[in-house]
C-alpha cells in the first residue's frame, strides 16, 4: 500500500490518500473485491476500451471515475453500492476507484483534467 496523489487541475484541488495501482491482470481483476475496508485504486488499462466494473463481493460504497488517455474525466458513477454493475458510455484508459469523500473534496466532474501520482 502506498500513497496516491490526486490533483484536479481544472478545480485546482489536491489530495493525498492511501491507495495502490492496478496495472496487471490480477490486480485489475480483483480490484476492491474481498477487501475488509475501503481503499483507493488507480487502474491503468492496456488498451482504450469501455472497461465495465461490478461491485460483487465489495461490502462498501465507492466512486468509479473513468479517465481518457489525456486524464480527462469522461464518465463516472458515484456511491456504487454492493452487487451492482456499471458499463461506462465512453471508452477510457484509466479508472480511479475512490472512497466517496475523496471525490467530494476534489470536486470531480465530467470534463475535469486529473493528474495522478502513485508513490510507494
- Read off the CATH number of the domain in which 54 is found: 2.60.120.1140
Q: Is 80 exceeded by the pLDDT of residue 120?
A: no
Structural domains counted in the chain = 1
Predicted confidence (pLDDT) per residue in 75-111, tens digit = 999 999 999 999 999 999 999 999 988 988 999 999 9
pLDDT given at position 25: 95
Give residues with Cβ within 8 angstroms of 72, minimum separation 6. 111, 112, 113, 114
Predicted confidence (pLDDT) per residue in 9-62, tens digit = 999 999 999 999 999 999 999 999 999 999 999 999 999 999 999 999 999 999
Number of other residues whose CB lies within 10 A of the CB of residue 114: 20
Which residue segment(s) compose the domain that 15 sits in?
2-119
Kindly report the backbone phi and psi dihedral angles of residue 44, in degrees, each rounded to the nearest multiple of 5, phi listed first: -115, 115
Amino acid at each position: 500500500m502506498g500513497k496516491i496523489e490526486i490533483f484536479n487541475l481544472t478545480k485546482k484541488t489536491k489530495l493525498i490518500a492511501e491507495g495502490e495501482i492496478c496495472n496487471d491482470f490480477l490486480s485489475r481483476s480483483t480490484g476492491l473485491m474481498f477487501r475488509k475496508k475501503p481503499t483507493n485504486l488507480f487502474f491503468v488499462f492496456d488498451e482504450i476500451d469501455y472497461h465495465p466494473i461490478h461491485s460483487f463481493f465489495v461490502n462498501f460504497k465507492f466512486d468509479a471515475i473513468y479517465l481518457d488517455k489525456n486524464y480527462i474525466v469522461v464518465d463516472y458513477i458515484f456511491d456504487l453500492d454492493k452487487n451492482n454493475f456499471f458499463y461506462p458510455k465512453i471508452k477510457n484508459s484509466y479508472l480511479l476507484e475512490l472512497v466517496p469523500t475523496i471525490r467530494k473534496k476534489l470536486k470531480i466532474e465530467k470534463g475535469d483534467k486529473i493528474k495522478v501520482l502513485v508513490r510507494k
